[in-house]
């Protein structure tokens, strides 16, 4: 079993091999500019102190909602403006979700990583269109997808002319209204030499468990993230909010901004121990 993937360039640093983990983080959905500004500013400061490569994330449209009345975001035009604001102010790479091929071109001068939501991980046209831009493409592994099937995601991106592929593990369906994180998925995906991210916040979801919204168990996020790091992921994904209970999306699973630094310090120390002392190439 291949425990570590090949090393490669990633925004001026290295990922893969024994390189330190990187972080994708930000509010789930773009609520307003002040929220994005606050979260990005604090997260950048934390990551600079810990020497972690940081990618800012927030969604301009949350199309996969439990209820038609749920807040979805400001839309693509305002979303692009907000992402440009973050890029220009903080000089950071940015990531956002796309749901349709027509959303790719309007964002190509702004985003650095296109993210394909889990429910769309088999949408060939969407993956191929994003990959054809030459930008990084992060595909969330569907809750229904076996780890071995992520090799098809890699192939689709490569056959679209790109080697900039990432896959994110975010839990697997476990009956109705529940997810489970299977640690085995990480070495299973690594054997295809795919850089892997673990999404600790979405893995804590309980889909549909709160009636017309998705529930979740925030208290298990640190445990799952420590588990993922212990088997050598390349990156981590966390949605964070200053006041998660008041968030307009994923209020039960966004991680409190004030608690992020303590957790990241633990995870970084574990990452260094595991990749340098435990895992074999």
Q: From the first residue on, what is the mean pLDDT of each consecutive set of 10 residues in the chain (281 residues)?
A: 88 96 98 98 98 98 78 95 98 98 98 98 98 98 97 98 98 93 96 98 83 79 98 98 96 97 98 90 51
| Model pLDDT, residue 67 | 74
* CATH label of the domain that carries residue 63: 3.20.20.70
Q: Quick check: 193 and 5 in contact, CB under 8 A?
A: yes
Q: Is the pTM of this model over 0.85?
A: yes
C-alpha count within 13 angstroms, C-beta hemisphere, residue 168: 30
Say if 168 falls within a structural domain: yes
The count of domains in the chain is 1
Strand partners, 237: 24, 199
- Domain assignment of residue 109, given as a range: 8-278
Say if 2 falls within a structural domain: no
Q: Quick check: 158 and 168 in contact, CB under 8 A?
A: no
Say if 22 falls within a structural domain: yes
């Amino acid at each position: 079993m291949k425990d570590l993937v090949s090393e490669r360039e990633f925004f001026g640093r290295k990922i893969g091999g024994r390189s330190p983990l990187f972080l994708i983080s930000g509010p789930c959905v773009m609520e307003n500019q002040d929220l994005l500004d606050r979260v990005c500013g604090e997260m950048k400061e934390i990551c600079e102190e810990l020497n972690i490569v940081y990618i800012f994330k927030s969604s301009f449209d949350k199309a996969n909602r439990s209820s038609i009345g749920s807040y979805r975001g400001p839309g693509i035009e305002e979303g692009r403006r907000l992402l440009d604001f973050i890029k220009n102010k903080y000089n950071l790479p940015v990531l956002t979700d796309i749901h349709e091929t027509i959303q790719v071109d309007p964002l190509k001068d702004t985003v650095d990583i296109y993210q394909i939501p889990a429910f769309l991980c088999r949408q060939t046209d969407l993956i191929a269109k994003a990959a054809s831009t030459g930008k990084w493409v992060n595909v969330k592994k569907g809750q229904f997808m076996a780890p071995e099937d992520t090799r098809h995601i890699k192939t689709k991106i490569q056959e679209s002319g790109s080697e900039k592929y990432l896959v994110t593990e975010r839990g697997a369906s476990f009956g109705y209204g529940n997810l489970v994180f299977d640690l085995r998925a990480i070495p299973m995906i690594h054997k295809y030499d795919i850089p892997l991210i673990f999404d600790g916040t979405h893995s804590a979801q309980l889909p549909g468990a709160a009636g017309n919204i998705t529930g979740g168990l925030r208290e298990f996020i640190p445990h799952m993230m420590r588990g993922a790091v212990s088997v050598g992921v390349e990156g981590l994904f966390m949605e964070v909010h200053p006041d998660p209970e008041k968030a307009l999306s994923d209020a039960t699973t966004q991680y409190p901004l004030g608690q992020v630094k303590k957790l990241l310090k633990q995870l970084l120390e574990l990452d260094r121990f595991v990749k340098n002392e435990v895992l074999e190439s």
